[in-house]
Chains A and B, each alone.
Chain A
Amino acid sequence: MATEVVHVVDPDNGSGADYTTITAWEAAQQRDLTSADEIAVAKCRCTGSTGDAISIMYISGWTTDATRYIKIWTDPTESYRHSGKWSTGNVYRIEATKTSSSQAIIDVQEDFVQFVGLLMQSDNGGQLHAKGINFQNSVADGSEFLVDSCIIRALHSGASSYANGIDCTYVSTGGNRTLKVQNTLVYDFSESNADCGGIVQTYGWNVLSYNNTVHNCWDGIYCGNNASNYHVVKNCIVQDCTETCYGGTFHADSDYNCSDDGTHPGSNGQTGEVTFVDEANDDFHLNSTDSVALGNGLDLSSDASNPISVDIDGDARTSWDIGADEFLMAAGTFYEMWELGQAPQIYNSEGGVDGAMAEGSLGDQKVKIFVETLNTSEQTYEDS
């Protein structure tokens, strides 16, 4: 079994820091992981409040395989991971300001790479084709990648076509590279001319997009090739996109997605406006009053291709909401429940419906529930 070689990246150079920027880690650790029988791990921290300012990070010049790979992440047992929305302060984040055209935040040229729990920001600096994570077509057939619980946002000005949040580069020779994107939030890749996308698949790539939220992109989630390859989309929210929420023809297994334009693939989806906690300020956690995404997802804990069990915050998924976030009630909080024309529902501690509060219609009255204590084993509450 390969040995994990862990180094700490901390832009504030706090106690235990090996490197103060992810690019220095990549330069110093670049090697043949297969002959070393090692997994190269960058454990990212932010002990002060400094972002990791870069222009572009290439991951290139390594040798990897399925069991000896590159992993860049924030350890959820530490305090430097985001809380499901863009944050500053003591949260590790890559802040990329582009200096020329066609730069990504991270340009991946190696075959087995994982990104977990990272914040990434693309400031295009006025440049064209600014991307988030770009998976190059030079990676080998059979290569595999993971983007899990990441937030990728654009701060783009002017026209910047082909500015995709997560982009799989077209492979002229085809083949089967695999990308899994899960519990990830992508937003604002929405420049004024076309062909900007949130999560984009094309020829040579098979993509599994599970429980992601994409907001305010030109195209939300895109399938560019469904003949030789596929894009399976499950439990994804796409909202407020310019051209289409879901573009192309997705794999037949795609289901339980939602959109606000009716383009979501699958027969068990939802059309409507999802109610987020604070959409105007890019907090895309689900609001307790939402009726589109809450509880309407598919249980993917036993998915044959890519089982998942937690959300972007690391919370256990039990009621299976659509999107990156799984709604959880918090003790000591009031929740307002709308059920227009229906009996208001009592929700359990995980946000799932636990039963009707009363028989018959209560019209559009608002029901406020105060959760005094949580008892997840019995799912009972004191109310007021």
Chain B
Amino acid sequence: MTRQVALILCVLAGAAGQERSNWWSLKPLARPPVPAVAGRLSRTPIDAFLQQQHAARGLKPAGTADRRTLIRRLSYDLHGLPPEPAEIERFVADPAPDAWERLVDRLLASPRYGERWARHWLDVAHYGESHGYDKDKPRRAAWPYRDYVIRSLNQDTPYTRFVQEQIAGDVMFPDDPQGVVATGFLAAGPWDFVGHVELREGTLDKNITRLLDRDDMLATTMSTFTSMTVHCARCHDHKFDPITQEDYYSLQAVFAGVDRAERPYDASAEVYRERRPLLEQRRALLGSLEPLRAIAAGVAGPQIQQLDARIRELRRNKAPREEMEAAAAERRRMVHERLEPRTRVKLESLESELAWVEGLLGGLPRPAMVYGAANVFETQGSFAPAWSPRPVFLLHRGSVESPGKAVGAGALAAVAGIEARFRLPEGHPEGARRAALAAWITDPRNPLPWRSIVNRVWHYHFGAGLVDTPNDFGRMGSPPTHPELLDWLAVEFREGLGGSLKKLHRLILTTDAWHRASPDHAANRVVDADNRYLWRMNRTRLDAESLRDAVLAASGNLDLTMGGPSVEQFDFKDDHSPHYDYARFDVTSPAARRRSIYRFLVRSVPDPFMESLDCPDASLAAPRRTTTLTALQALALLNDPFMVSQAEVFARRLESMTPARAGRVRHAYLLALGRAPRSGESAAMVEYARRHGLANACRLLFNSNEFFFVD
């Protein structure tokens, strides 16, 4: 190569590198100055950033919405529920200058807040409670993770800690049993039962199953916390973003020691502090025992065969337990006699140590179980724990048939200033890898998680993010409409607000922007039809859960019990492939009255009612929901047994409130729509109720656009 060519190549490489680190989402975070805006004073720094764009584009921002609109908007935003009529009246009449701030604080302090916002988080984590695929078994121990998310939001766990717990809570916060529960995040996605349990170890399809399982874990982690589409680099370097195949396989290596399985924890931290070291000892013993047990399992001979035949017969005849145990002990003795002495001594000493540890564990209160990321669990078929992280190779074109070089744990090299290849000591436990990734993500020098989370929160408050692709901050995603505002929010959240989501909500909810009405403005529409510059508030359609909960709330039928096992709103029949039948569920049973976040979420057969309302498939991350308005959705809202029955319950509630039909209609409007009917409306509805019954009138209110949309 001539010197000149080499020089050109260097320049080109340098240019490419520079261009890559210049990508907006990867640039280091710095707090931009708040723009000085002429004229009207901005209520918050956020408004100053927005106002600057209004001025630059000649947009005339809308005025403030009325209080009745604001409280309904706020209630659905923070709680996913309509405000009570009395609350509305109190707020509308509250003369105090801080009436709004007090209202916001009160709603943020309510446990309903965590229930509402946890649903957003579970969308992103694609949390489901069955495996998906063929043989879609229920995960009856998944719910503690859902409760963990609700509790964390209600307690306002600082974001750094919230992130770390979900990736490596079990190792970073070893004394807190909730650290174990939090790993439910890594296990939230689908799992191929047949691939893991039934395929033999060492087969190609087994390796593919495992590759795809890790792919889901790392894609979920990176999309959720960094908004990067790392999973695009499985088969080749990312086509659009500075993510290499080596980055990708380094992330596969992070999760190479864990699987999705049930693992024990304790409600009491004290008990857990006793249990944890024992569990660790047990795991170490099981790991050392495994090769020895394999040797013992291979021991055979005519006497053992004879004994095995006897054991089979005892089992067939359902012999007493003592007899069975004696036979098993006899078998063990025979096997051990035939082992090489050194192996035998080692095996027996480890087995007795294990028995001792098991005894101690048995003396503790029975643990609770959570479906999480686990490095030890009961073997099921060919699904067995990895005693040390499984080796990971860079796969040519993503094919398990073409492994390249071995790859250690790491993250994205394109994030400047943080070591992307984790330096871990030889023989480190698998948890160290996850802890290293959690540390890499939450490193204050990493700009991605901060931009990512403030954008998500913005998205849920306004119906669109400053970046309207919340899971993709790469080249295929959208650029931010207000890059300085995004950075200001990210830095403010990380530093000023100490990672408190509740403080971030409060900041956003007290802006002028969030308070605007949503009127039309022809000239504004010409400039910004999509309202990307927030010259008004976006009108939103209720999501599936809010609609269902609002119906229960209006009919006075909402059971606010928090947490615990999910309510199964279907008829379940276990089988080779379990059956989930929603048509046979009794919609008048108590299980129908819980908040929607407590529904049991089946992957293969989603609830058709919720599905018609765009409740997302728990198989893929849903950082934003599609909203449709379809004929089948109309039929569901009109005719679904749940809706039909709730309309009757609502009518009975109204009947118990007041004797006159007009009064009942008035209450119906207040409860469902948050306002009294106008006189013409009242007359028409009273007449309809007279001719066809109050329940039918209630049904109409539940189907009205005013009920379904929030101004």
Partners in one complex: no
Footprint of A on B, CB under 8 Å?
none
